[in-house]
Amino acid sequence: MKQTIPLAFAAFVLIAMGRTAVGDKFRFLDLQMRENQKLTKEFAIDLREGNTLSGVPTGEQKLLGIKFRIGKGVVHLGSTVQVKRPEKVEGIAVRGSVSKLHILHATQYGGGPNKEGARWHVVDGTLIGEYRIHYKDKSTATIPIVYGKDVRDWWFRADEKGVTRGKVAWTGDNDLAKRYDCRLRLYVTSWKNPKPDVEVATIDYISRKKETVASPFCVAITVEKP
């Protein structure tokens, strides 16, 4: 007698593989096996109280019309000041077809209270990291992370510019940022895959740890299927 797999069990298998299906269009990549910074814990190198992302809504969320699954932590890379963070995280599993990648991310340091001329200011146009795409056919592609184009500091002042290539996807607050007259924001980068017919195997997330104070972090990645 032919047996069928219950839908609930099938969904569990997909989640375990880090490939949760979301309707017919989107699926989530699992970053929680790689997270190294809890949303509810202080981000600052001096661990000053109140500098967290605890206000970010978790679970399945729709931002700018894109569904993301936000976990309890982020993947936070290093910089010249965040020396204990890793330079890169390799082998984030995709294992499927990709029409577009939608990335929810930001960087720590660069702007906010760090105005031009300050030690921790980052000049627009600075390459602060990249996502390196590994296809099943062994070829690669690169998604650059450029300060001012794709992301800015997660802290921002009211008079601070937005980004020219990415989009602001979420705005919020934390107690420490308020003391400096700043708020928080996260950005979305949407990348169109030039090779949608070739399976994507994995993604490497890489910073410029030895070159810049900007310390990028990734909150969630969603695959849009062909």
- On the CB side of 213, CA atoms within 13 Å amount to 16
Query: Mean pLDDT, to the nearest integer, of 90-111?
Result: 97
- The answer to whether residue 33 scores a pLDDT higher than 50 is yes
Burial, 122: exposed, middle or buried (Cβ in 10 Å; 0-12, 13-18, 19+)? Answer: buried
| Helix (H), strand (E) at residue 134 | strand 127-135
Q: What is the pLDDT of residues 132-190, one digit of tens each?
A: 999 999 999 999 999 999 999 999 999 999 999 999 999 999 999 999 999 999 999 99
What is the rounded average pLDDT for all residues in the chain? 90
Q: Give one word for 90, left, alpha or beta, with left for phi > 0 and alpha for psi -120 to 50.
A: beta
Query: What percentage of the chain reaches a pLDDT higher than 90?
Result: 82
One-letter amino acid of 125: G
SS (H, E, C) 111-131: CCCCCCCCCCECCCCCEEEEE
Predicted TM-score (pTM) of this structure: 0.89
State the Cα–Cα distance between residues 52 and 81, nearest whole angstrom.
Answer: 18
Q: What is the pLDDT of residue 118?
A: 81
**Residues whose CB is less than 8 angstroms from the CB of residue 63 and which lie 6 or more positions away in sequence, other chains included:** 104, 169, 170, 188
Fill in the DSSP letter of residue 147.
B
Q: What is the pLDDT of residue 85?
A: 96
Q: How confident is the model at residue 45 (pLDDT cuts 50, 70, 90)?
A: confident
Q: What is the pLDDT of residue 47?
A: 61
One-letter amino acid of 146: V
- On the CB side of 140, CA atoms within 13 Å amount to 12
Q: What is the pLDDT of residue 19?
A: 46
Q: What is the pLDDT of residues 47-97, one digit of tens each?
A: 678 999 999 999 999 999 999 999 999 999 999 999 999 999 999 999 999
